[in-house]
Amino acid sequence: MDGSAGAESSSEAPTRHALTYAPFRTLILAATVSYLGSFVQEVAQAWLMVELTHRAKPVAGLAALYTLPVMLLMLPAGVMADRYDRRRILIVAQLAQGAVAFALGVLAALGKITPGVLLAASFGLGVGTAIGAPPWQSLVPELVPKSRMPEAVTIGAVSFNVARAVGPAIGGVVLAWRGPAASFFVNAASFLGVVVVLWKVEAIRAASERARGDGTREGAFAALATAIRHTLRSRPLRACVVAVSVFAPPAASTSAILPMFARVTLDAGARGYGSLLAALGGGAITGALALPRLRARLPARVLVACAMALFAAATLAMSQTTSLRSACVAFFVAGLGWVSSFSTLAALLQTSAPDALKSRVMAVYGLAFIGAWVVGAATGGALADTVGMARAIAVGAVMAALAAAVTSRLALPELPRPAR
């Protein structure tokens, strides 16, 4: 398979950087464009909800309704990804999300946007994400050698956080210049690049069409039970799920509160809000660049716990300021902890899960992550309406510190190390 991991000999593959594998590189570039579009829409969607309702809870509801279908559909999607052509599933998911974004743009252009429309669109985008996440996650290991999996996951995090750093700034400009409808149309167009890559790149097609699963003919419910049972009985996999379950709520709480915190506490406009998101993304990129050295020197358990503690300290500092500049500095530091924890946990799981169950195990992990995220986002929004934005963010910081303490005691697996 030209350019793919499968075409490399076992002696040659470890010496190559993950980005030298053309299918992986092409997919990451297309994903980056799609992430950019998503952040452009996220800025417009959250800001428009603030303008329509002037409350934190409906803004948090956007995140909650986006993640609700993921909770409901992630496990069935994992079964599909282990059994069927993952490329075709991904194409359907991308086209569906593009259609939702396009419809939202049309309604915005016609002046028909309401809070209910925004919430419904968020739910629709969540459905597409739920269907696409397991096949996307299980394709990556087949495009690079297993020893390069941590590197590939980190590059994926860099891709996402480049978009996080740049997308909100672009989103703020598009929102201020052309309005929310243009932001939604930009996102709709961004899905097309991923569709073209999935459809045209032969190596991705071949990897997707390989036989999946463990060779049994067990039913869907039995397949789900097998994955759940294996994840819970495996101490390393269980530790990854516990770690992400305790850290996702405070991260989600801070993210959900951020638009109102920017508007009310920092007295910032749409561009100021975009600057906060860009600072988080910039910190995440910096953290991702430092991760290879940190992973070589620190046990995974120590690295993840320290990253969570760094996020906690940074968000606590942010809760104490009313200066946009100071908040951006604090959120930059928070980004370091954000990417170091989440990307390392994902890499640990992807390199530890058995190939035959990989999509389903990733779906179990994803369900735990999303469920914790929903709880955190909803709780954060409600808490902000009750005690104020700054105190709600401070509470989230304390929760993140507790998550770090829990993670420091877990038996996380170690990452494979490339041959030198």
Return the pLDDT at 136. Answer: 86
pLDDT, the chain, mean:
83
Of 55 and 96, the one with more pLDDT: 96
* Residues 206, 202: Cα–Cα separation, whole Å: 6
Mean pLDDT of all residues in 1-21: 51
Q: Which of 47-61, 97-111, 124-138 has the highest mean pLDDT?
A: 97-111
User: Are residues 135 and 322 in contact, defined by beta-carbon separation less than 8 angstroms?
Assistant: no
pLDDT at 1: 38
Structure tokens at 2: 């030209």
Instruction: Calculate mean pLDDT across residues 2-6.
Output: 42
Q: Which residues contact 409 (CB under 8 A, 6 or more apart)?
A: none
Asked whether residue 62 carries a pLDDT value surpassing 90, the answer given is no
Give domain 9-211+219-407's CATH superfamily: MFS general substrate transporter like domains (1.20.1250.20)
Nearest-CA neighbor of 246 among 402, 33, 63, 20? 402
What does the pLDDT read at residue 402? 96
Q: Which residue has the higher pLDDT, 50 or 108?
A: 108
Mean pLDDT of 5-31: 66
128 has a pLDDT exceeding 50: yes
In the predicted structure, residue 13 carries a pLDDT above the cut 60? no
pLDDT value at position 4? 42
Is pLDDT of 5 > 60?
Answer: no
Nearest partner of 100 among 121, 81, 114, judged by Cα: 121
Domain-wise residue ranges, the chain: 9-211+219-407
Q: Which band of pLDDT confidence, cut at 50, 70 and 90, is reported for residue 7?
A: very low
What share of the chain in percent tops pLDDT 70? 90
Average pLDDT over residues 256-279: 80
Greatest mean pLDDT among 177-181, 203-207, 279-283, 392-396 lies in 392-396
The reported pLDDT for the residue numbered 277 is 77
Average pLDDT over residues 327-345: 89
pLDDT in tens, 184-201: 999 999 999 899 999 888
Position 10 scores a pLDDT of 35
Report the pLDDT averaged over residues 254-270. Answer: 82
Considering only CA atoms, which of 136, 124, 123, 130 is closest in space to residue 194? Answer: 136
**Largest Cα span, the chain:** 60
What CA–CA distance (Å, rounded) separates 214 from 223?
10
The SS3 of residue 147 is helix
How high is the pLDDT of residue 2? Answer: 37
CA dihedral 194, 196, 198, 201 (to 10 degrees): -130
Model-level pTM?
0.75
* Span 151-172, pLDDT tens digits: 777 777 778 767 766 777 788 7
Summarize pLDDT for 209-251 with one digit per residue, the tens: 665 555 455 666 777 788 888 888 889 999 999 999 999 999 9
Nearest of 394, 409, 400 to residue 337 by alpha carbon: 400
Between residues 250 and 48, the one the model is more confident about = 250
Q: Pick the residue with more confidence: 83 or 27?
A: 27
Half-sphere exposure of 361 (CA within 13 A, CB side): 28
218/178: higher pLDDT: 178
Sort residue 111 into left (φ over 0), alpha (ψ -120 to 50) or beta. left
